[in-house]
Structure 1
Amino acid sequence: MSNAWSWYVIALVALNIGGCAWLLWWTARRRPGDPKPEETSHVWDGNITEYNKPLPRWWINGFYLTIVFGIGYLVWYPGLGNFAGTSGWTSAREHDADKARHDRLLEETFGVYANQSFQALAADPTAMELGRSIFANTCAACHGSSAQGAAGYPDLTDATWNWGGEPEQILQTVLDGRQGIMPPLGSVLEGIGGDVAVTQAATYVRALRSEDIEATLRNDYMAARGKKYFDSLCVACHGPDGKGNQDLGAPDLTVRNTLYPNTLDSIRTTIIEGRHGVMPAHRDLLGETRGRLVAAYVWSLSNARGTDAASGQQ
């Protein structure tokens, strides 16, 4: 705050406090010639009379004490522009102290799970309840409360993983985030074969999810024509068989549970406009131990058999 604004605030506060004190003094005193309290001349129904009696002295003094308290409060705490107050109190220092106290409580709660294996965490009901709670607070907004995702947000309960479904890979995703980028190829394909080339490439991508791709290509002219575009533009990321590359986050195009709807229009949109999926990093928010707990919970959603086996070994 600039000095000019600081003095403006100080003057405004002083004016308000002084105005309140003056108004209290002015309205509380009686003056020569004022009518008696019972002589207001306001009478209804013959015997209902309005009085104008002053407040009791103890009440008036209570108001004055309130004003004195307000002045003392503004001296003790910062409330007068840039004046920091004699106590040295700041909201930032108060926030830091509260945060440190709660961080210690969190450390006591979660510290027992530090560096435990994912299998051990997944087999511990209390750890999984904590992981589920962390997921509900930080992940459910995108992936849903059931972790089954939505268009553009992966289903975490199946066996399809764009960046790998091993526990350490999931932990890296939680802590450091991911960015999956599908570049727009519409202008490239349209330059080669017009809009029909986009449709042919999309038809081939859709055909990759069929049970017999060779039979589909023999019977579907559009898909067969689209294969050459896929081979020239898409194999670098998705591979010659369309099974993707987890190192790049390139999805497996042969599975039916896809990140975006498995419709021709949706695939065309992906090819023409591209996609940019972002999983934000949570390292600063959660820390290593809480990140490990939620990663173990996510891993357990698609590895029920593994968690049961781990539980039986304990």
Structure 2
Amino acid sequence: MSAGWSWYIIALVALNIFGCAWLLWWTAKRRPGDPKPEDTSHYWDGDITEYNKPMPRWWINGFYLLLAFSVVYIFWYGGLGGYEGYGKWSSAGEHALAKAADDARLEETFAPYKGRPIDQIAQDPAAIKLGQAIFNNNCATCHGSSAQGAIGFPNLRDDIWHWGGSPEDILTTILDGREGVMPEWGSVLTGMGGDSAVISVVAYVRSLSDSARSKDYLAVQGQRLYEGVCIACHGVDGKGNQALGAPDLTDDYWLYGDSTAQLVESVSKGRHGVMPAWRDMLGETRARLVGAYVWSLSHPGGETASAAPATQETSPQ
């Protein structure tokens, strides 16, 4: 705050305090010619009389004491522009103290889970409750309060993982985020196979999860185009590549929708999905608790990674 604004506020505060003091002094005095306290001649309804009696002295003195207290309070806590107060108190400092105390309590609460694998943390019901609370506060905006996701936001309750479903992969996803990019292939495919190229690729991709479609004319035409463009990421068999976040095309899960129009848009215009990094926001231990909660959703039996090998299917969780 500039010095000019500080002096303006100081003048305003002083004017208010001295103005209140003067008003008390002026109205408490009786002057020559004032009517007697019992003689004002103001009557209503015949027997209701207004008197000219001053406030009791103890009441007026109480107001003076309140004004004196306000002066001491302002000098101690600040309130005169840029003057921080003799006691050096500030709302920012009070917040920092409260935050430090809360952080210490949280650290004590989270300490038992520090550095532990998330599949082991998932065996602790108390940890699952903590992880769910952190999830609801931070992750439910995209994945929903039930963690079932939406179009463009993966379902966390299934066993499909685009970036890997092992405890380490899930923790890495939460801490450092993921960025999945599906390039635009519309113009490339059209140049290779004409106007029907994109719909032919879509037909072939559908046949990967539905063998009954494999003999369709468009699917047969689309296989050649798929093998010329798509196998670099999704593989010859369409199983995808978790290192790239390329989804498995042989299952029945479609992150951006399974309608023909949605699949055509994915192939022709591409997709760009971003999972933010939460390392700075949550810290590692809270990220482990969230990961344990997410792990528990797709492992309702409570098995650990050592007891049940991680699935090879995919979804960008």
* TM-score normalised over the length of structure 1: 0.86
Deviations 1:137-158 (A, max 9, x none): 2222322222211211111111
Distance 2:37 2:192 in 1: 98
Identity %: 60
Q: CA deviation at 1:306?
A: 5.0
Bigger mean CA deviation after superposition, 258-267 or 222-231: 222-231
Distance 1:195 1:25 in 2: 92
Q: CA deviation at 1:273?
A: 3.9
SS at match of 2:215: helix
- 2:35 paired with 1:35: yes
Deviations 1:197-250 (A, max 9, x none): 44333343334332x1xx52422x333334444334433322233322211222
One-letter amino acid of the structure 2 residue matched with residue 247 of structure 1:
A
- 2:254 paired with 1:258: yes
Alignment match, 2:94 = 94
Alignment match, 1:274 = 270
Alignment match, 1:223 = 219
Q: Higher helix fraction: Structure 1 or Structure 2?
A: 1
Contact 1:206-1:264 within 8 A present in 2 as well: no
One-letter amino acid of the structure 2 residue matched with residue 73 of structure 1:
Y
TM-aligned CA distance change 1:22 to 1:278, over 3 Å: farther
Contact 2:233-2:241 within 8 A present in 1 as well: yes
Alignment match, 2:123 = 123
Alignment match, 1:54 = 54
Q: CA deviation at 1:192?
A: 6.0
TM-aligned CA distance change 1:21 to 1:272, over 3 Å: farther
Alignment match, 1:290 = 286
Contact 1:206-1:262 within 8 A present in 2 as well: no
Q: CA deviation at 1:190?
A: 5.5
Query: CA-atom RMSD, angstroms?
Result: 2.7
Point out where structure 1 has 5 or more consecutive residues left out of the alignment.
none
TM-aligned CA distance change 1:122 to 1:87, over 3 Å: same
TM-aligned CA distance change 1:181 to 1:54, over 3 Å: farther
Q: CA deviation at 1:309?
A: 9.9
- 2:287 paired with 1:299: no
TM-aligned CA distance change 1:244 to 1:308, over 3 Å: closer
Distance 1:58 1:185 in 2: 87
SS at match of 1:35: coil
